[in-house]
Amino acid sequence: MSDRLIYLPLGGAGEIGMNAYVYGYGAAGKERLIVVDLGVTFPDMDGTPGVDLILPDIAWLRERKAQIDGIFITHAHEDHVGAIGHYWEQLGAPVYARPFTANIARRKLGEHGQPEGVVTVVDVYPHVIACGPFKVSYVPISHSIPESAGLVIDSPDGRIIHSGDFKIDETPVVGDPWDKGLWEEISKDGVKALICDSTNVFSPDPGRSESTIGDAIAEMMKDATGMVVATTFASNIARLKTLAIAAQKADRSVVLLGRAMRRMVEAATDVGILSGFPAVVSPEDALNIPRENLMLLVTGSQGERRAASAQLAQGSYLGLKLKEGDTFLFSSKTIPGNERGVIRIMNQLSELGVDVIDDAGGKYHVSGHANRPDLQTMHQIVKPQILIPMHGEHRHLREHVKLGNAGGLTGIVVVNGMMIDLSGNQPTVAEYIDTGRTYLDGSVQVGAMDGIVRDRIRMALNGHMIVTLIIDEDGDPLGDPWVEISGLAETGNSNAALVEVVEEDLSQFVNRANGKTLRDEVKLEKELKTIARRSAQAEIGKKPEVTVIVSRLG
């Protein structure tokens, strides 16, 4: 059997977030593998209540641990590097990254008791990392975090370009400017496949440079009369710098609030990419500075409940308090699904008399992803035989293929779990892999399909009723069934206590039940459950989740 070149997304293809892509080359089933990115995504109350973090299901990779030659991280966003600490032990391969990303990756490994030394800091193109049958180069590209990179992946079957997350920005404030010549160079000898970021495929206008917003922000900060608070993603080092320089121009000292904010500035400083960032003052010292000379740079742009912005909106954080006349800037976009949290904070700020400025006009924020025309630019430079959109929900991937088609490219929608054979002239689906999501729940990894979170959602929607019954040594009921409720109305339509009404119905059944029914564990439980649910439905119009506990004495 001849060797083949495969592409298999395990995360990120069918969602924005949780990126994890696999490339392989070799005999079918025996391919040598490399992993590109190992990210996470974030839980929400709708679908994943109580979950701490969502990771890609890497069972397929785990079973092929011996075939993995390397893990390549394109940049330091959580949805690309966030799972490295949780998963490295299960994969055990060397990790490659540029200095800033490596710094972050090492911190994550360290926090999980993993060896930080497995991370190799790489130089950029034309430097080549030989990794099994692959030769990989890091190609700098602009994005909303420093030292982002696309990857050139050379295989015996041809060249693949994996774009990574990117935007076309010639003046990115921090990090690598877009270098058209470089991308032309890596593409000139023919590219088999372009695996390409799809996040902003629905944004019709060309993207704007990070450098276009600094003046407007500085003006805003000069005009503001009280304290100014600004929030953005802590990892957006360029934005932090844009905001800090604007503060400096407006005669304001910069205070960093929030763990992620301090950590990111520290990492950027460690690797030497944060030159020209103004000196910061501590929250304690800030208390002695007039508020019109302060700019707080805070975490929590997505309305996260415990972040600095949420705490400021609720009153105070480390002694710093907002009040009438202060200004709060969201220098960020609200990610779909986070609206409620962000709006809650905006209203709390409004109650304090704080003026909120958000991204409505696009004056104070630019995206880190390539918009539609920028994607077309990338297509035209790379001219791949095949375009495979990644990093997008299904609608983004599909639209991206259509966009490629309109420019004369062949494209294919590939979602998580679809293994594509890229060896021939036309890509074919080699296999469908069982994939999905793994939840970090407290300190335990549980499968998304284990039913644990489903049970929680059911309790949240329906409430929980617990029925206990004691059966004595002779197989007779000892006393009456006992009912406890959690998350259910205490009184229903009959104006009696719900538990008493249900206990009465259960007692009637138990007293009529014959010995056979009472001995039959499964049947007894099922009957008690059915009666409890029916009784609750009549009383409060709701069928609760019911747990039945039968204790048998002797």
Which spans of this chain sit near a second copy (rule: CB under 8 A)?
14, 44-46, 49-50, 202, 336-337, 339-340, 343, 346-347, 349-351, 353, 356, 360, 393-395, 397-398, 441-444, 446, 450, 452-453, 455-457, 459-464, 466, 468, 470, 478-479, 482, 484, 486-493, 537, 540-542, 545, 547, 549, 551, 553
Our CB check for a second copy shows the closer of 184 and 472 to be 472
Our CB check for a second copy shows the closer of 182 and 352 to be 352
Our CB check for a second copy shows the closer of 282 and 493 to be 493
CB atoms under 10 Å from CB of 130, counted, come to 11
Residue pair 18/55 in contact (Cβ under 8 Å)? The answer is yes
DSSP conformation letters of 12-78? SEEBSS--EEEEEEEETT--EEEEE----B---TTT-TT--EEEE--HHHHTTGGGEEEEE-----H
Our CB check for a second copy shows the closer of 280 and 471 to be 471
Our CB check for a second copy shows the closer of 185 and 525 to be 525
Rg (CA), the chain: 28
Cis status of the peptide bond prior to 544, with omega within 30 of 0: no
CB of 314 to a second copy, least distance (A): 14
Our CB check for a second copy shows the closer of 486 and 508 to be 486
CB of 446 to a second copy, least distance (A): 5
CB of 540 to a second copy, least distance (A): 5
CB of 487 to a second copy, least distance (A): 4
CB of 311 to a second copy, least distance (A): 18
Q: Whole-angstrom Cα distance, residue 221 to residue 243? A: 9
Our CB check for a second copy shows the closer of 46 and 474 to be 46
CB of 186 to a second copy, least distance (A): 31
Q: Whole-angstrom Cα distance, residue 162 to residue 18? A: 16
CB of 324 to a second copy, least distance (A): 11
Q: How is the beta sheet containing 134-140 ordered, strand by strand?
A: 129-131, 134-140, 149-155, 158-162, 191-197, 384-390
Q: Whole-angstrom Cα distance, residue 244 to residue 225? A: 17
